[in-house]
Structures are given as structure tokens and as C-alpha cells.
């Protein structure tokens, strides 16, 4: 439906020549919904204006809707629809008259029938007598699209079709755009700054920066190729021998005191925390010297917790490194990083590879507390290929 090779546009001003578009190559197949993304000043609007015959290219060739862009621009215009970002309706003219005038200009037979058909399909029926200026934002945008479709073009260009619409109106317009493709086979070429729109609506994306196409593919292909999925692994708690010994010592001392019937376990722990352990116990008259020694032993065990914690941290580090080493050799893992008990992996097709990763850890004797998968966003892709976030560039 669109084939462009080396399409370029240079502007000449008082400060010299400016290459707005530098040899764009792009292809759009019949029946596709293709999104065209790019930061401000990247050449996106200039390319769109050239493809819609609003601006003549200074170099390159293009076929649009089966017509030569440079040799037959009038033929291109007859076979495309173009919906500008700001629309083109007169706020004082009724909706039905706007559509009828557009149909007359294109020589559409049975204008009344075509207008009625478009109003029914785009949820505009019953609004024919309403001036365009009295319509809601979503209704006005659907009117703009109806004007672009009135002559049944095989290719429709949409420039920021949902800018300024509320979420419900945006979702409704998405449904209408999909319906145009599914019911009529209309090819749609749209620009947008909404990442969710590009991800949910478009079959394929083209990203332009500094006048050149820098990335193209389906949303999923771009996310997998450029960013990869992120798998986060949390290692299970790993008790050390020192921790086990401390717990056994403290439990044994408290248990011995309770078994002797002279002091509850809670009392022994409380007494052990005081400076005058022996004196307090003697004053109570309920604990023997052996009991006091046991309680003091529990206190000594508690004081050993600090070096035991250090040993535990070292053990966790060794296990985490073992996990990283086991996973780094996996063919789907691009990168592995360790932070404490957390191992983060960049993985191709993470959802498909999760079970293989778990099996590799199991073979290495590594237990997990949790596992999560995060997929990259189109903003990650945009940031990678242009150096800017699309939200910042909008």
C-alpha cells in the first residue's frame, strides 16, 4: 500500500539547508494498522505531509495507494483519506451538511446513502442536524474520520487521532479504527504520542529519529529485540550452622530452667538482660547456680548473633553468586546481576524460559522465595533507539 525509498526533504532558510528527512525507506502492506512514532523535530510530520501530497519531496521515490507520489499526486489524493490532528470542520455547519459536501467534492454516488452509512457505523446517527461546534470531543473526532472515509479510500492517514480525548472516547475510537480494517480492509497509517495506543492498536510500528527510520517491527518484536524481559529472583532464607547453634543453645537454657520449676523461660531471658544476673536470681531464691549459668549462656549466645549475621550474609552472597553463575550460561539470559538475595536477569522471551531457569537453579541447589517477570514497555524501546523517552519528547 505504501512503498517509499530514499524519501527526503530539505528546507532552505537564511541559515542554510536543513535536512528534515534523510532518505526514509518504509513499506506498509495492505490491511495493516501501522503506527509512526518519533520525537518532535525527528521528521515525522514532514514525512506524513510528503506521503499525503501536502509537501513535495526533494529526493526519493514513493508509491502510495498504487499511485506514484511524484508523478501522480492527484491520483494519490483520490485514493487516500487524511484526518489532520486539528480536524477541518466548520463549527457552524451541521454534521450532515459537512459530510454531504465532502461526498459531493469526491463525486460519491448516492451521497445520502453514504452519509447515513457512515453516521450509523461511527455512532453519529441522529446528530446530522447538530452544528459541528456543539458536538463532544469524541463526536467531533469521529466526524473527522467520517470525512476522511466518505469516498471509500483504501488507505487512511490519521494524525494524532485521539489527542485530547478522555479514556472512554479513546477506547471507542480504537474500536472504530479496528472495525475499518477488519470490515473494509482499510489500511491505516497513524501518528501518535500515546504508548498504550501504539501498543494496543498497531500491527506494526515505525520509529523515526533525526530524519531516518531507526527501528521497525511489531510492538512485541521491538520490545523483545531491544529491551528483553526482566526476571527477578529472590533467594530463600539460608540458615547458617552458627544460627542453628545459637537457637539450640538459647532454647536449651530456657528449657532447662523451666523444667527445674524455678523460673519461667521469659523470666530467665529478662534476668539475663541485667547487669546483676546472679544477685537478682539469688534474691529471688528460686534459681540455682547451674540455672544462672544456663541463662548467662543464653545471653552469651545472643551476643554471638552479630558475627553469625555476618556469616549468614557471606553465605547468601555465595549462594547468590552460584545462582548467577548457573543462569549466566543459559542461552536465553543476556545479563545477570546480583544484589543481596536478589538476582535480576535480562531474558529473551522470559515467559517461555521461566521453567528452564527454575530447573537450572534447582540443579545448582538454589532455593527461591519468589520469582517475578516484568516485560519492557514501548517507552523503554523508544529510549533505547532515540536516547529520549517518548513522554519527554512529546
**Predicted local distance difference test score (pLDDT) of residue 113:** 96
pTM > 0.75: no
At residue 119 the predicted structure's pLDDT band, cuts being 50, 70 and 90, is very high
In the DSSP assignment, the letter for residue 237 is P
Question: Each residue of 16-75: pLDDT tens digit?
Answer: 899 999 999 999 999 999 999 998 888 999 999 999 999 999 999 999 999 999 999 999
**Predicted local distance difference test score (pLDDT) of residue 307:** 63
In the chain, pLDDT over 90 holds for what percent of residues? 48
Which residue shows C-alpha cell 467520517? 146
Least confident span in 112-116, 131-135, 221-225? 221-225
Question: Each residue of 168-211: pLDDT tens digit?
Answer: 989 999 999 999 999 999 999 999 988 889 999 999 999 999 99
**Predicted local distance difference test score (pLDDT) of residue 68:** 97
Return the domain boundaries, the chain.
Answer: 2-226, 229-238+309-375, 241-306
Sign of CA dihedral 71, 75, 81, 84: positive
Tell me the pairing of strands 204-209 and 33-37: parallel
Distance between CA atoms of residues 104 and 64, nearest Å: 24
| Dihedral-angle region of residue 127 (phi above 0 means left; psi in -120 to 50 means alpha; beta otherwise) | alpha
Question: Each residue of 76-108: pLDDT tens digit?
Answer: 999 999 999 888 899 999 999 999 999 999 999
Which of 248 and 232 is assigned the larger pLDDT?
Answer: 232
Q: What Cα–Cα distance (Å) separates residue 293 from each residue in 163, 202, 246, 298, 385?
A: 78, 76, 16, 9, 69
Of 223, 169, 170, 179, residue with least CA distance to 199: 223
Residue 274 pLDDT exceeds 50: no
CATH of the domain spanning 229-238+309-375: 3.30.70.100
- Segments in the chain forming alpha helices (H): 44-51, 73-79, 95-105, 111-121, 137-149, 167-184, 195-201, 219-226, 241-259, 265-272, 277-284, 289-303, 305-328, 350-363, 378-386, 390-393
**Predicted local distance difference test score (pLDDT) of residue 104:** 96
Report the topology of domain 2-226: Rossmann fold (3.40.50)
Q: How close are the terminal C-alpha atoms of the chain, in Å? A: 28
Mean pLDDT, all residues of the chain? 83
Distance between CA atoms of residues 64 and 47, nearest Å: 13
**Predicted local distance difference test score (pLDDT) of residue 30:** 96
**All residues at 6 or more sequence positions from 345 whose CB lies less than 8 Å from its CB, including other chains:** 230, 231, 232, 233, 327, 333, 335, 336, 337, 357
CB 55 within 8 A of CB 11: no
Residue 335 pLDDT exceeds 70: yes
Overall size of the chain counted in residues: 394
**Predicted local distance difference test score (pLDDT) of residue 306:** 60
Which of 363 and 296 is assigned the larger pLDDT?
Answer: 363
Q: CB count, 10 Å around CB of 126? A: 10
Tell me the pairing of strands 33-37 and 368-374: unpaired
Distance between CA atoms of residues 219 and 243, nearest Å: 50
Q: What is the mean pLDDT of residues 285-313?
A: 56
Which residue shows C-alpha cell 514525512? 47
Q: What Cα–Cα distance (Å) separates residue 23 from each residue in 38, 70, 71, 144, 208?
A: 16, 15, 19, 31, 11
Which of 330 and 79 is assigned the larger pLDDT?
Answer: 79
Distance between CA atoms of residues 82 and 102, nearest Å: 12
Distance between CA atoms of residues 376 and 222, nearest Å: 10
Amino acid at each position: 500500500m505504501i512503498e517509499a525509498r530514499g524519501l527526503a526533504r530539505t528546507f532552505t532558510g537564511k541559515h542554510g539547508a536543513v535536512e528534515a528527512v534523510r532518505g526514509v525507506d518504509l513499506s506498509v502492506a495492505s490491511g495493516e494498522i501501522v503506527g509512526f512514532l518519533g520525537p518532535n523535530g525527528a521528521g515525522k510530520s514532514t514525512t506524513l505531509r510528503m506521503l499525503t501530497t501536502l509537501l513535495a519531496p526533494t529526493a526519493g521515490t514513493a508509491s502510495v495507494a498504487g499511485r506514484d507520489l511524484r508523478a501522480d499526486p492527484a491520483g494519490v489524493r483520490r485514493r487516500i483519506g487524511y484526518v489532520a490532528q486539528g480536524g477541518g470542520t466548520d463549527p457552524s455547519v451541521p454534521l450532515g451538511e459537512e459530510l454531504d459536501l465532502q461526498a459531493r467534492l469526491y463525486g460519491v454516488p448516492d451521497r445520502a446513502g453514504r452519509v447515513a452509512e457512515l453516521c450509523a457505523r461511527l455512532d453519529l446517527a441522529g446528530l446530522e442536524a447538530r452544528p459541528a461546534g456543539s458536538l463532544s470531543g469524541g463526536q467531533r473526532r469521529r466526524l473527522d474520520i467520517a470525512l476522511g472515509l466518505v469516498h471509500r479510500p483504501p488507505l487512511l492517514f490519521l494524525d494524532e487521532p485521539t489527542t485530547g480525548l478522555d479514556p472512554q472516547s479513546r477506547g471507542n475510537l480504537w474500536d472504530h479504527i479496528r472495525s475499518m480494517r477488519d470490515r473494509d480492509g482499510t489500511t491505516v497509517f497513524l501518528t501518535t504520542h500515546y504508548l498504550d495506543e501504539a501498543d494496543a492498536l498497531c500491527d506494526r510500528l515505525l520509529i523515526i529519529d533525526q530524519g531516518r527510520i531507526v527501528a521497525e517491527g511489531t510492538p512485541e518484536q521491538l520490545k523483545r529485540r531491544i529491551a528483553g524481559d526482566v526476571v527477578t529472583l529472590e533467594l530463600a532464607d539460608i540458615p547458617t550452622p552458627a544460627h542453628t547453634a545459637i537457637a539450640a543453645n538459647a532454647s536449651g537454657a530456657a528449657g532447662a530452667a523451666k523444667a527445674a520449676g524455678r523460673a519461667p523461660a521469659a523470666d530467665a531471658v529478662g534476668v539475663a538482660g541485667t547487669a546483676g544476673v546472679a544477685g537478682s536470681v539469688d534474691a529471688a531464691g528460686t534459681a540455682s547456680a547451674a540455672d544462672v549459668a544456663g541463662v548467662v549462656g543464653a545471653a552469651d549466645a545472643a551476643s554471638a548473633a552479630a558475627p553469625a549475621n555476618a556469616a549468614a550474609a557471606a553465605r547468601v552472597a555465595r549462594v547468590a553468586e552460584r545462582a548467577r553463575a548457573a543462569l549466566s550460561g543459559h542461552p536465553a539470559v543476556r545479563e545477570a546481576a546480583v544484589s543481596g538475595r536478589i538476582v535480576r536477569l535480562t531474558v529473551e522471551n522470559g515467559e517461555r524460559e521461566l521453567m528452564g531457569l527454575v530447573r537450572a537453579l534447582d540443579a545448582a541447589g538454589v532455593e527461591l522465595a519468589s520469582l517475578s517477570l516484568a516485560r519492557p514497555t514501548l517507552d523503554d524501546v523508544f529510549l533505547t533507539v532515540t536516547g529520549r523517552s517518548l513522554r519527554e519528547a512529546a
